[in-house]
Amino acid sequence: MASCAAKAPAPPAASATQTATAAQTAPSIAAPEPASASPRFLDAIPADLAPELAQQIGFLSDLCNVALHYETGGAHRTRVGCRTCPPFEGAAAISDGRIAVDGNDFYELELSISGHFTAPNADQRLAVFRGCEPHSENFGGTLIAERSGEKFRALRYLSGLHPQACQAYHLADGRDLAVCEFTGTHQSLSTDTLRVLDFTSNPPKEQTLLSFTNQDPCLTEPGTRSSEELIESFELNQNPAAKNNGLVIRTTRTARTLDEPYQRYCRENAAGSPGERPFSKPEVTTRQYRFNGEGFVPR
């Protein structure tokens, strides 16, 4: 059994259609949940750990003291992270070669994207963490890590830059842009935004492609009609021969009315017994963009 310090095989650079979803993450609006007070420690990567998670541990062991968290309820997920907050500075962040399991100090690695984000020849990762930031700073940030010799080193930390999903878009000069979705809730308003990030500048240059703001229908007056617009999915296609070469975004628009069934749902939800939200058929829209050398433009 390999030690924690030993590297799991590095994953290949992200393909044009690789999506780093948040399948193993908690919602970005939730604060880190508490774990047991006293962790147990492992000296090696568990043999039954999924290969993707083992690779993430190998990556993180270059940057921090590694931690695992096993969820016992819900989806029974296994989550990987660190025992200290990024950007992993000081003696406390130096890896001790062990893996802490189910401890209080746990900051999850939510996304990991391979690419060349600041220079064409740089072997880099965008690592999105749920960190020490408060709600006003989106509960986390993004670390750019770069391979130097046999190990990754922290290059730059962008506190508050906390996407829920990203894909790498490969440019002709060998660099990568990051196409990322950001969601958040502040008071009665929720947002869903798709941005393109260029990390050759600091802070990164941003292009906002779509941004929706929705009000919670439960906080409107009875009888109020509203609509909810969301980014359903996005996909990069970098085959020059394909007609849809570029970016395809699918969005939904769903009509909501605060009628009696919806008011009942709101009352139950406020009482801590959330039921099923009244169904409304969404209207699906497909939007296509192409890259013109400077940014994405509608087709």
* Cα angle 161, 25, 193; round to 5: 40
- What's the mean pLDDT when you consider all of the chain? 87
* CA–CA gap between residue 81 and residue 228 (Å, rounded): 34
CA 54 from centroid of its chain's CA atoms = 19
Radius of gyration of the chain measured on its C-alpha atoms: 21
Tell me how far apart the alpha carbons of residues 75 and 285 are, in angstroms, rounded to a whole number: 31
Q: Element (H or E) spanning 89, and its range? A: none
Q: Is the pLDDT at 22 greater than 60, yes or no? A: no
Give the number of other CB atoms < 10 A from CB of residue 20. 23
Residue 81, number of CB atoms within 10 A of its CB = 24
Dihedral sign for Cα atoms in the order 260, 261, 266, 271: positive
Task: Give 193-201 contacts, CB < 8 A, sequence gap 24+.
Answer: 193/231, 194/231, 194/234, 194/249, 196/169, 196/295, 196/296, 197/161, 199/117, 199/118, 199/126, 199/144, 199/156, 200/117, 200/118, 200/119, 200/175
Is 225's pLDDT higher than 80?
yes
Residues 6+ apart with CB under 8 A from 104: 34, 35, 36, 37, 39
Q: Please report the pLDDT score of residue 37 as a whole number.
A: 57
Question: What is the mean predicted confidence (pLDDT) over 133-160?
Answer: 95
Provide the token pair at 130: 């749920």
Mean pLDDT of 282-291: 96
- Predicted pLDDT of residue 245: 80
Half-sphere CA count of 13, side-chain side, radius 13 A? 17
**What are the Cα distances from residue 174, in Å, to 117, 177, 187, 293?**
9, 10, 42, 13
For residue 157, the model assigns a pLDDT of 97
Closest CA to 229 of 276, 289, 163, 283: 283
CA dist 47 to 3, 44, 76, Å? 11, 8, 18
**What pLDDT was estimated at residue 187?**
82
Q: What is the pLDDT of residues 233-280, one digit of tens each?
A: 999 988 766 767 899 999 999 999 999 999 999 999 999 998 899 999
Range scoring the smallest mean pLDDT among 66-75, 131-140, 280-289: 66-75
This prediction's pTM: 0.82
Question: Does 18 have pLDDT greater than 80?
Answer: no
pLDDT in tens, 73-130: 767 789 999 999 999 988 878 889 999 999 999 999 999 999 999 999 999 999 999 9
Domain coordinates in residue numbering, the chain: 1-163
Encode pLDDT of 166-207 as tens digits.
999 999 999 999 999 999 998 889 999 999 999 999 999 999
- The per-residue pLDDT for 39 is 86
Q: Is the pLDDT of residue 290 over 60?
A: yes
Q: Are 156 and 180 in contact (CB under 8 A)?
A: no
C-alpha to C-alpha distances, 2 to 102, 145, 250, nearest whole angstrom: 21, 23, 43
